[in-house]
Structure 1
Amino acid sequence: MLTFGELIYRNGLYWGDKDAFVELDRRLTWRDFQVRTDALGYVMRRLGVGQGDRVVVLSSDCIEVAETFGACMKVGAVRVGLNPRLAPPEITALVADCSPTVIFVHQDYFPVIDHAEKIGMLSQGPMRQIRIIEFGSASSEYERLITGELDQPVLVQTPHPVAMIAYTTGSTGLPKGAIYPHQAFLQSIFYIAMLEGIDPTTRWLHAMPAAGIPLMHLMRNIFHAAASVIVGSWSAEQALLLIERERTTNVVLVPTMLNSLLESSKLGSTDTSSMRLFGYGASPLPPKTIKEAMRAFGKPFLQMFGTTELMGMSMMLFPADHELGLRERPEILASAGKPLPFIAARVLDEQGQDVSTGDTGELVLRSDTQFSGYWNAPEKDAEVIRDGWIHTGDMARLDTAGYVYLSDRAKFRIKTGGYNVFPTEVENALAEHPAVNEVAVIGLPDERWGERIHAVVSLSSGKEASPDELRDFCRDKIATFKVPKTIEIWPEIPKGTTGKIQKRTILEHYAALNEKCAS
């Protein structure tokens, strides 16, 4: 297979006039993208970036995120995307971990880097030589440097075996840097693009934050010289505007985004007829929301289950599965779908033996398109990779038709009053309440129960519900011992860069409260 850089060159040569990347007020053709990534490659080399050197990108989604990735692939730099919503100490810790030569930062997030610099956090040890380049305006240093290299001959490419480091969202602990081999990552994106039916006429609406693994969505256009239309910082109204104006065809959303589209006052007056496929993923979507969305848009729906360590998707619930779920088997709408053709899946007990069909155990996966290990963390490799299998930490069961049902993260299993309770079942019950927008269920220490089931809920705009009302609502849907003992209403539930709910952050919040009370 051609490399990322070779595909960019090919697209610019043969389909140079086609849209490559589009924003609300900017548009880049494949010829533009080829020339600018070449120029940026020259810039990187002049800044001392060599093969295997890390290049950090700190930005919300924009054209420059694609450009910096393309240039990195051409010169053999290892791209590292960081979530711009992280706090300065968190950014600094990850920068220290990957030790980059250059940091490209959008002007909106420059204060984060500037703060770290001023207090000396980026000027110690191996980080003292970092070059910081700001972008986000026509007069930025980034644009000045690229403009100075636009007349250079076609760049001689020097790809590296490693494409990027993707830091996990840290939903169960501190982020780890997953190392993505160039060809395996490219192959993973290709497989997913084919399964989704991407073709030269596709106009992909890109909404998933591309700091880590969702970069694969942004670059899915590369195989057929298709177009990626970038929403940027999420706004349902802006997404709907771009769907209509740009005649977009495909999208993948996290549940929060899909809910905001369904609630938007602009939905009814927006022409969404160009859309061919709606995808969703990152965290579970309650079956009632799936049904509502399918009715609202009248288009095929596709669920994706992604795994950072597999560099992409490992399971899908295809449009035909959704139709089957609506027609005959409603329970499969609560599944993660089936393992993809290039993924091997097993469910193991605590002794590492395969469980019987229908029994719950840990989901383990294997593929030719999996990461090669964690950056600077060989001890973590041994925990996750065993005999070639990726141990996901997800508790799951397989049915006789091959659908995978996720119970929850093994680390989030709640042991209450002698019972094992998986939060997903409780979350799905609460999510059926018409006022509930999002929900996260955790276990908190309790003298009587060992752990008590606690729910954090955010409500839909304009809706009201009390904790007592929500608890009563659950009683008819799940066993009494699974009903949350306590519920809190939060304005928003914390999420990571991919839109995945951060239960670790919620647990830390309550741990801090307990510590404060104890003192």
Structure 2
Amino acid sequence: MDLPLISRAQENPEKIAIVTPENAFTYGDLLEISRQIATCLLSNSQDLQEQRVAFAIPSGFEYVAVQWGVWRAGGIAVPLCTSHPRPELEHVIYDSQASIIIAHPNFEPILLSIAQEKGCRFLLTTEILSTQETSLPEISSDRRALILYTSGTTGKPKGVVTTHQNIQAQVTSLIDAWGWTSDDKILHVLPLHHIHGIINLLTCALWSGAQCHILPKFDAEAVWTRIGQGNLTLFMAVPTIYVKLITAWETLPPEQQKALSKACSQLRLMVSGSAALPLQVLKKWQDISGHFLLERYGMTEIGMALSNPLNGQRMAGYVGQLLPGVEVRLVDEQGQLVPSGTPGEIQVKSPGVFLEYWQKPEATAKAFQDGWFCTGDLAVVEQGNYRILGRLSVDIIKTGGYKVSALEIEETLRTHPDIKDCAVVGVEDEEWGQRVCGALVLHIGSHLTLESLRNWAKERLAVYKIPTKIVTLDDLPRNAMGKVTKPKVVELF
């Protein structure tokens, strides 16, 4: 038996699946190229048996073909962020114990040397097509399919493992809730190492037999141009992207604004997620596009759990109600259910909830309470709708749709020769949700500018983890126990 995603594609091989700025590819193309990639990955074995395959490929057809090829060969896909510096890539490759690395030629220099150090098999996308005829393994749906890395409260990102079954549950729940059909055409501008881009957009589109129009990266002008060309039905993004689209729209002449607003109004649905949507962004977007953005709530470990309705009243500042197949409860610090109108931690149970943190049984066990996944997010139910109040931990920062660990950033900053100590916090921000800010204590006689710190950090941290504002202090604010008081640090900004 093929995986359901593959079987569904086989029903309409002539239909367009992926559209890039250069080309259009059918489901048949995707099946054939992914088969050739799977054959190459298998080499002379019959089944990769859940070997981890890490890959760095720009967004586009090649990315999708490799992901499907890994799955069809029986491997676990470990997508790498194409903008990450070497230490971040090393962490994912080493932690996942990847045995194969696939790279687009753009990323050959950095990934080839990591592969040589680690003794991994290394393949370029230009050399992974095999014309051999070979039978591919049968993959059961309870097999591990994907490892995505997400920041927890403790230091470095952990690998979240989902099975093919988990992915199917996540996807079918969204297709049901958001009315996906094979006639849909979605514009994809999100990163493809993150659940939002991989599951909510790409996999939902391909499961539905729809078209996925992929831009290699987000560019406000390119997005408006594509929307202006018409025939799209769906768009999903993070609040930061909507802010940038609004800014770009505002610079255009009135005639062009009018034409783009009209093109926007032709879409059937526009969704915002991965971070809280500021009210004025929601209103401004509604003025421009005619769309009251659909807000929803989810995370890497659970897929999506809550959503405003496709049809029916959406409430500003709320993430709606339960998605199909999902159970949610709110509990207090003792793990007891809270009454309606009282804030509590969101806990989730559903077939879409992840299997485990990769090779971290203690962290996995700690993340569950009586079979419920503990999200660490605080919410309240009002008029039957959920409103997110924030994270239980001050050490998790939500910025531009990414969840980052303040502790991980602090550990890295402390390795800077001029920094004696530091505290990193998230400060509320209209565009980013939260802005990463750092309070620094420097060694005597040292001087550090934001620009020089950022240049230094770009070699070590993903760009969205690097502080955008800093203050220097003689000492960090602390409580009687000597613990840094993060709320006081936030006040400094």
CA distance in 2, matches of 1:100, 1:169: 19
Change beyond 3 A, Cα 1:255–1:69:
same
Instruction: Look up the match of 2:123.
Output: 133
Q: What CA distance in whole angstroms lies between the structure 2 residues aligned with 1:514 and 1:197? A: 55
Distance in 2, Cα, partners of 1:41 & 1:244: 38
Tell me the equivalent position of 1:448: none
Residues 163, 355 of structure 2: 8 Å contact kept = yes
Equivalent residues of 2:74, 2:137 under 8 A apart: no
1:369 corresponds to 2:367: no
- Please name the residue that 2:37 is paired with: 40
3-state secondary structure, aligned to 2:357: coil
Shift of 1:123: 4.1
Which residue of the partner structure matches residue 359 of structure 1? 342
Matched residue, 2:270: 278
Q: Find the counterpart in structure 2 of residue 97 from structure 1.
A: 95
Between the aligned partners of 2:180 and 2:12, the Cα distance in structure 1 is 16
CA shift in 2, pair 1:350/1:377, >3 Å: same
Distance 1:20 1:257 in 2: 24
User: How high is the sequence identity, in percent, across the aligned residues?
Assistant: 23
1:470-510 deviation line (CA, Å, top 9, x unaligned)? xxxxxxxxxxxxxxxxxxx99xx9xxxxxx996x7549977
Q: In 2, distance between residues paired with 1:183 and 1:455? A: 38
**Partner residue, 1:341:** 324
Does the CA contact (< 8 Å) of 1:8 and 1:33 recur in 2? Answer: no
Answer yes or no: is 1:77 the counterpart of 2:95. Answer: no
Pick from 246, 252, 258 the counterpart of residue 262 of structure 1: 246
Alignment CA distance shift 1:178-1:123 (3 Å)? same
Pick from 199, 208, 223: which aligns with 1:224?
A: 208
What displacement does 1:158 show? 3.7
* 1:168, distance to aligned residue in structure 2 (A): 1.1
Structure 2 contact 325–350 (Cα < 8 Å) conserved: yes
The Cα of 1:83 is off from its aligned counterpart by 1.7
- Between the aligned partners of 2:426 and 2:185, the Cα distance in structure 1 is 42
Matched, 1:249 2:233: yes
Are residue 316 (structure 1) and residue 314 (structure 2) matched? no
After TM superposition, give the deviation of residue 452 of structure 1 in Å: 12
For the aligned residue pairs, the C-alpha RMSD in angstroms reads 4.0
Letter in 2 for 1:77: G
Is 2:200 the counterpart of 1:209?
A: no
- Cα deviations by residue, 1:435-486 (Å, 9 ceiling, x for unpaired): xxx9x9x99xxxxxxx9998475879xxxxxxxxxxxxxxxxxxxxxxxxxx
Change (3 A) 1:87 1:366: same
Give the Å deviation of 1:104.
1.5
Match of 2:26, as an amino acid?
A: T
The alignment covers a number of residue pairs equal to: 429
**Judging changes above 3 Å, is the alpha-carbon distance between structure 1 residues 154 and 238 closer, same or farther for their aligned structure 2 residues?**
farther
Contact 2:101–2:115 (CA under 8 A) maintained in structure 1: no
- Mean Cα deviation higher: 276-285 or 94-103: 94-103
Q: Could you tell me how far apart the structure 2 residues matched to 1:167 and 1:357 are? A: 34
Between the aligned partners of 2:122 and 2:426, the Cα distance in structure 1 is 44
Within 5 A, what are the aligned runs for 1:7-18?
Answer: 7-12=5-10, 14-18=11-15
List gaps (5 residues or longer) in structure 2: 408-422, 433-449, 455-461, 477-493
- The superposition leaves residues 38-78 of structure 1 with CA deviations (integer Å, 9 ceiling, x where unpaired) of 11111111176612111112233221221112112212111
Residue 23 (1) aligns with residue 5 (2): no
* Deviation readout 1:271-304 (Å, 9 max, x if unpaired): 3354111011011111111111122111353112
AA aligned opposite 2:182: P
Which whole-Å deviations, capped at 9, do the CAs of 1:314-358 have from their partners, x for residues lacking one? Answer: 11122556x454xxxxxxx11222222322222211111122222
1:216-269 per-residue CA deviation (whole Å, 9 max, x = no partner) reads 121112233211111221112222233344621111101111112222246624
Q: How many Å separate the matches in 1 of 2:364 and 2:243?
A: 37
Maintained 8 Å contact 1:301/1:319 = no
Q: Deviations over 1:386-416 (max 9, x none)?
A: 21111111122222x22122111111289xx
1:277–1:300: 8 Å Cα contact kept in structure 2? no
Q: Where do 4+ consecutive residues of structure 1 move more than 6 Å? A: 451-454, 507-515
CA contact (8 A) 1:8 1:222 kept: no
Q: Structure 2 length as normaliser, TM-score?
A: 0.76
Alignment partner of 1:164 is 2:146: yes
Q: Does 1:395 align with 2:375?
A: no
Say whether residues 1:303 and 2:270 are aligned partners. Answer: no
Q: Does 1:189 align with 2:171?
A: yes
Superposition TM-score, scaled by structure 1 size = 0.73
> In the alignment, which of 133, 155, 169 is matched to residue 152 of structure 1?
133
The CA deviation at 1:27 is 1.3
* 1:315 partner amino acid: L
Q: Is the Cα–Cα contact under 8 Å of residues 340 and 381 in structure 2 kept in the other structure? A: yes
Q: Distance in 1 between matches of 2:204 and 2:51?
A: 25
Separation of aligned partners in 1, 2:85 and 2:294 = 34
Q: Which residue of 2 aligns with 1:234?
A: 218
Matches within 5 A, 1:112-131: 112-114=110-112, 117=113, 121-124=114-117, 127-128=118-119, 130-131=120-121
Relative distance call for 1:404 and 1:71 in structure 2 (3 A) is same
Distance in 1 between the 2:207 and 2:363 partners?
A: 34
